[in-house]
Amino acid sequence: MKRATGFAAIALSLMAVLSMAALPASAGVTTYDFHFLTTGGTEYCDGIFFYNYGSPKTLVDGYHWNTFCGGTNANVNGFKAGVASVYQYAGVGSVFLVSDPDSGNGAGGGTGVMWLINPTYHTWNFYYSGGGAGEFVGNEGLFSNGLGPITHSSTSTKSAQSR
Amino acid sequence: MRPHTIRLVILCSIVLAAAVGLQGKSQKLPASAHSVQDSENPLLSRFQTFSATVTGGIARDHDRKIYRSGKWMRLDFDDSYRVNDLDTLEMWSVGANRCVKFLRPDAGSYPFTAYHNFKVERTHVAEKETVDGHVCKIEILTLTPRDDRPIVATMKMWEADDLEGFPIRIEVSEGGQTLTSTYTNVSLKAPDPQLFKHPAKCGAGLQLGQQGVVKLGKGL
């Protein structure tokens, strides 16, 4: 009887540990929500909201808000990973690599956009896809992240992507 | 005539007929067009100096000033400018208090910096069209990489007769999408060389490892 109780306790403990590991720990989730700013600190009309979560904490999921100042959002996602500084705007180390489908341009499938957001240096830049023939630099700038979600509006009439 | 001479004449005739037949099969272009191979994108080899206003392209630019002088191409922004090296595809973004160098060109230089070192097949269409008041010849470039990347891009250019063939409208189609760039206020005069000045080494403004905007709270 004692032995059976012991096994049950171990099994329960194991299940508890496993279930805790499977759930995203709310304390480990970081919210990002900010306006894209120019390199001089002036606000663009659009911004980005996303959660950084997971274990390891490298998952990114959220949306690019007020895209092209049009009042619509585009769902975005990605990962946190190291990127060589030569590809960043004045940043070093890990960045949030965020894929944005809303930069669709022209007839057809649209042009891919990849944002590099450095949470340590508060810098961002993005690249346009060249369809396999080489990427193009889109824009770069700064950001500041507050305590939580912000109002997704702006008096600015220029988006980070319309430069 | 000797028998072997007759056989030789017959053999040559067969070879000639076969060659003509094959040539006919490979010509899929309309009778009004002709096609030539070129080792270099004429966008780069021609139009060495110009200034214009560009709209459209990969970055949806709108009335952005663009300048070219040889291997340098500049684009103007509100409080900065960008200089692209058309040979290396490097780019310097220069503002009043900052400078940053990128290893890739600015999107506004598209399509001049696209399909770098690709093979080019040029097709001239006999018909002309008028665009923005300019009578234009039409040329279609087919661009393919020199390696095994499965990319085929076509670039349709409307080349203005009164601007020495400068393409005032360029449509690039690749992978099921089409991007259009239009150029207005075109001048083929050489721009002021001062426009392309940029620091050899960026040394002012926000630098690598320098904090951008101070965080406001614990969000980071």
CB contacts, 8 Å: A29 with chain B:
none
Contact A105 B100 (CB under 8 A): no
CB contacts, 8 Å: B176 with chain A:
108-109
Which of A41, A90, A145 shows the shortest C-beta gap to B208? A90
**According to the model, what pLDDT value does residue B9 have?**
54
The alpha-carbon gap from B55 to the nearest alpha carbon of chain A, in Å, equals 11
Least Cα distance to B40 among B137, B109, B141, B126 occurs for B141
Contact B219 A109 (CB under 8 A): no
Beta bridge partners of A32: A50
Q: What percent of chain A has pLDDT over 90?
A: 59
**According to the model, what pLDDT value does residue A46 have?**
94
ipTM value, please give it: 0.81
Chain A interface includes B59 (CB < 8 A)? yes
Report, as ranges of residue numbers, the positions in chain B whose pLDDT lies below 50.
12, 15-29, 31, 204, 214-220
Question: In this structure, what token pair is assigned to residue A85?
Answer: 């500084």
Contact B104 A39 (CB under 8 A): no
**According to the model, what pLDDT value does residue B60 have?**
87
Give the mean pLDDT of chain A.
83
Contact B103 A87 (CB under 8 A): yes
Residue B60 sits at φ, ψ, to 5 deg, of 50, 40
Contact B116 A133 (CB under 8 A): yes
Contact B58 A30 (CB under 8 A): no
The alpha-carbon gap from B36 to the nearest alpha carbon of chain A, in Å, equals 22
For residues B94 and B83, give the distance between their C-alpha atoms in angstroms, rounded to a whole number.
8
**According to the model, what pLDDT value does residue B141 have?**
96
Please spell the DSSP secondary structure of B132-149, one letter per residue.
Answer: TTEEEEEEEEEEE-SSS-
The alpha-carbon gap from A31 to the nearest alpha carbon of chain B, in Å, equals 6
Q: Which residue of A has its CA nearest to B203?
A: A90
- Model pLDDT for residues A67-116, shown as the tens digit of each residue: 889 888 999 999 999 999 999 998 899 999 999 985 555 445 578 899 99
For residues A20 and B171, give the distance between their C-alpha atoms in angstroms, rounded to a whole number.
55
Least Cα distance to B104 among B59, B41, B171 occurs for B59
Compute CA distances B8 → A78, A95, A133, whole Å: 70, 73, 50
**According to the model, what pLDDT value does residue A157 have?**
92
User: Looking at the predicted structure, is the pLDDT value of residue A123 above 80?
Assistant: yes
User: Looking at the predicted structure, is the pLDDT value of residue A12 above 50?
Assistant: no
Which of A106, A140, A143 shows the shortest C-beta gap to B213? A143
pLDDT band at residue A4 under the 50/70/90 scheme: low
